[in-house]
Structure 1
């Protein structure tokens, strides 16, 4: 759902006209198909790839806060029998229905509050909610809602930016769309308090290629991107952003406090 940075300036390859079906970059979400947005977009795709890898076929999957909907297509393409996307924004829902539900029979998209999911209890085999929790005001209620619709023994996956690297040195989120950001320990405690069993807590890190670029540049890539209008990026930076794929990131459970994003894999007890 969310983007990781304030609303971007319009620059080459980053104009609102390039946004999917009239959706415009605001800083609240990331979108596919926009070259100068590619670094952030691929960071989001990493979590969906983890979810896809967990599917064996035939599952009912919920994407709570599905945003533009690219993740719905990934989950359906991995063999899920039914993929339910839910988002509050009716413009986004209309786009996701046209772009993905119309071409993927397994996909359906609903406009609804995440605290009032239009699903029966225990209806879901896998729930994913990526880059969503940091936007919400009633986080315990949201987690209770996810737990309600996910069957006992099934998995809930949550991804969110790591506060220690995204809003370093401050408890106030730099992104105006974020209400609360988490450290790994804080996320673990929040999920546990909601009655979820945290089985794995992973971090998304820059891989070897991105790390080598950051060492040469003398600062992390997200800092460089946030500090400069895309229209004024040097050619090497633009080439780097355009070339990023999910393989440019490393996902593991070590050194979580230094990670870019956190991914929690939880089990619904019972």
Structure 2
């Protein structure tokens, strides 16, 4: 969320080796679309909005903390913190989606509470977030833009206080996506292996973010046949083997008032 427009977090196009992550985001929007009722969708923490048309024909309203990210989007947008949505929006939206955004905020329970507040009584909220067991390292948050990462039960515990019904699904990758991911993790492990004393844990966050952005931007500009071949059909949404999924998808129904 906060930070430069193009970072390791703000994948804006399928160019180069950004393609697998870009397609993963598109697949998340496409996969959750059938779960949503008709009516206006609040796209929470939407970034540059590259996949909101996957929710058509529903009208969408984009919210992000970055005015730069929202600039030029072909839909209504406003700058807001997802934890403090306007009171005037209470009960307005048929659905709310938050794709790869709640992991970027502290006190994420406030974002979930705000989501329930702006939903209609029969509204649906969908939170998509990386599975901490498969994203990088299950015992360490490597991404300096992430405040927290969740496993199945942690995500359920986050959402359940604000919704009467919570369903957890998983976004799974194809063998070739998993091959790409394994290569990314191997490179990450080599880099982290250069810091056996864990000095990175004592470096200011702003420094880590700068280094992270630089490394990812350079790396992902170098396309490979494998990265270029991945498309939206390399992902599927299901309720099986959740611990092995790439992303966890919490579906909240019947918001608590």
Runs (4+) of structure 1 moved beyond 3 Å? 54-57, 208-211, 224-233
Does the CA contact (< 8 Å) of 2:164 and 2:255 recur in 1? yes
Aligned to 1:13: none
Aligned to 1:63: 43
Distance (Å, rounded) in 2 between the aligned partners of 1:252 and 1:222: 24
Does the CA contact (< 8 Å) of 1:191 and 1:197 recur in 2? no
Q: Deviations over 1:15-42 (max 9, x none)?
A: xxxxxxxx75322322124222011111
Cα distance, 1:196 vs structure 2:
4.8
Distance (Å, rounded) in 2 between the aligned partners of 1:159 and 1:197: 16
Does the CA contact (< 8 Å) of 1:86 and 1:112 recur in 2? yes
Does the CA contact (< 8 Å) of 2:20 and 2:230 recur in 1? yes
> What TM-score does the superposition give when structure 1 sets the normalisation length?
0.75
Output aligned runs, 1:1-270, within 5 Å: 24-55=5-36, 57=38, 59-75=39-55, 78-80=56-58, 82-94=59-71, 98=72, 100-101=73-74, 107-118=75-86, 119-170=88-139, 172-198=140-166, 200-211=167-178, 214=179, 220-224=182-186, 226=188, 238-269=224-255
SS in 2 for 1:242: helix
Distance (Å, rounded) in 2 between the aligned partners of 1:232 and 1:144: 38
> What TM-score does the superposition give when structure 2 sets the normalisation length?
0.79
Unaligned ranges ≥5, structure 2: 192-214
Q: Deviations over 1:212-231 (max 9, x none)?
A: xx3xx8x8244156469787
Does the CA contact (< 8 Å) of 1:120 and 1:149 recur in 2? yes
Distance (Å, rounded) in 2 between the aligned partners of 1:62 and 1:186: 24
CA RMSD of superposed structures (Å): 2.7
Aligned to 2:211: none
* 1:232–1:121 distance in 2 versus 1, CA, 3 Å: closer
Distance (Å, rounded) in 1 between the aligned partners of 2:6 and 2:164: 33
Bigger RCO of structures 1 and 2 (CA < 8 A, at least 6 apart) = 2
